[in-house]
Structure 1
Amino acid sequence: MAYELYYWDGLQGRGEFVRLALEEARADYVEIARGPEDEGLGTSAMMAVLGSRSEPHPPFAPPFLKDGDLIVPQTANILLYLGPKLGLLPRDEGLRYVANGLQLTIADMVTEAHDTHHPLASSLYYEDQKEAAKTRASDFIDHRIPKFMRYFERVLRQNPEGDQHLVGNALTYVDLSMFQLIDGLRYAFPKATKRFDEQYPRLAALYQAVMTRPNIAAYLASDRRLPHNEQCIFRHYPELDKASR
């Protein structure tokens, strides 16, 4: 049976980290919210699961994955579940938890990237918090991007299996997620990331290596890959972008 991925139609968002893993593995999956309503799919089908009163463990929010009767919520949790099935985790059990820790750290940075344009409240429009967003984005560019990226660059450098992957000696979902994180930052903050390749050469090399993998390249060129946009996590507002220090 195909995996069922539930996430908002029209957005890369947190669902994109799961899509990249499924696409790299050429797994059979269906995007429920992107399907036609008259076939029992669409956003209403996703909302029916979220609001279910019969499901014993309903998910809080998208993304979540259905594999048969099992519902797996939360991006990092989904990837931890899929990793062994898709061949995107080391066999060593300890390294699997290392990978999960790195994925959770990526999730932390994704949240901080979101909060650059919504620093006061998610329920408010960006236009209602623009001044606070400028302050938050400036700090994110000057302090948080370097702090996170220096850490990830160090993880690559200190990997005993070599600096081509974040964990172990073969591609994992963490490498795919790092690609997506960097891609989102480059979209949202082109000025701030202009010197990214120079500042973080190992991460830049990883980004290029993932982007040119045959299955990922085919996905990026397809209509399955949704474009970045200003309704998503990574948003490009020119007034929030500036050159890094």
Structure 2
Amino acid sequence: MPKLSYFDIPGSRGEECRLALHLAGVAFEDDRIKDWPPRKEQTPYGSVPTFEVEGRGVLAQTNAILVYIGREHGLHPRDNWLAARHEELMLAVEDLRAAVGPVLRIQDPEERVKAREELASGFLKRWGRAVERRLNDLGAGPFVSGDAIQVADLKLYMVVRWLSSGTVDHVPRDVFAEFPRLTALERAVAQHPKILAWYAR
């Protein structure tokens, strides 16, 4: 049984990989880390998630894990050009996370409010607009490439769900509301029977 290791939270990079494995129908050991400091040095890059397959070793980096699962189980395009378009969107999600992370760590209350409001009105709008254009280029949806859910959809779903949830202070729930293709994708993933089954466990 393969093992996916990540923190015991229902979000971010590890949850994307859990959802991909669940969609694929793969039984896996869901290793939810509670003792991170002593385990950090045991990972290839000092980060998680990691995905371990007996006899093959440990795979690190979220997108590498997602693309591997996708290729193995029909959740990633076979056509190389289309696959690259999907991977482009996955990398765009990591660009977003890299931009948001430092803002979330600001301690000064006034500076924090200002930075988050600027993030919401500036970077997040530009990011949403760019992703919306790319999604429109790829077709009508509801998923990235039509009617079939794939790993790129899971990655987009996680960040849109997070930033539209109201859990990030001073980032409004409707931050992506003006991007109908992106918000429709988030709803389509949320309503997928296997995603509903995962969260109903």
TM over 0.5, shorter chain: yes
Q: Does 2:89 match 1:102?
A: yes
Where do 5+ consecutive residues of structure 2 fail to align? none
- In the TM superposition, 1:185-196 aligns within 5 A as 185-187=163-165, 188-189=167-168, 192-194=172-174, 196=176
Tell me how far 1:26 sits from its aligned partner: 2.2
Q: Secondary structure at the match of 1:171?
A: coil
**Corresponding position: 1:51 with 2:50:** no
Encode CA deviations 1:9-41: one digit per residue, 9 max, x unaligned. Answer: 24523211211211222211112235xxxxxxx
Larger-gyration structure (1/2): 1
CA apart distance, 1:76: 1.2
| TM-score, normalised by the number of residues in structure 2 | 0.86
* Overall identity of the aligned pairs, in %: 25
**Which of the residues 107, 110, 114 maps onto 1:135?**
114
1:70 equivalent among 41, 54, 57: 57
Which AA in structure 1 matches 2:173? Answer: T
User: Which residue does 2:12 correspond to in 1?
Assistant: 13
AA in 1 matched with 2:158: Q
Structure 1, gaps ≥5 residues long: 35-41, 120-127, 223-245
Q: CA deviation at 1:196?
A: 3.8
TM-score by structure 1 length? 0.72
Partner of 1:175: 153
Counterpart residue identity of residue 2, structure 2: Y
Contact 2:143 2:188 in 1 (8 A): no
CA shift for structure 1 position 138: 1.5
Instruction: Quote the offset at 1:195 in angstroms.
Output: 6.5
Offset of 1:210 from its aligned partner? 1.0
User: Counterpart of 2:5 in structure 1: which amino acid?
Assistant: Y
Distance in 2 (CA, whole Å) between partners of 1:82 and 1:148 is 26
Report the aligned-residue RMSD. 2.4
CA shift in 2, pair 1:195/1:97, >3 Å: closer
2: distance between equivalents of 1:185 and 1:195? Answer: 8
Instruction: Name the CA distance, whole Å, in 2 between partners of 1:221 and 1:110.
Output: 27
In structure 2, distance between residues paired with 1:155 and 1:181: 16
Distance 1:92 1:183, change over 3 A: same
Tell me how many residue pairs correspond in the alignment: 198
Runs of 4+ in structure 1 deviating by more than 6 angstroms, as ranges, are: none
| 2:60 equivalent to 1:80 | no
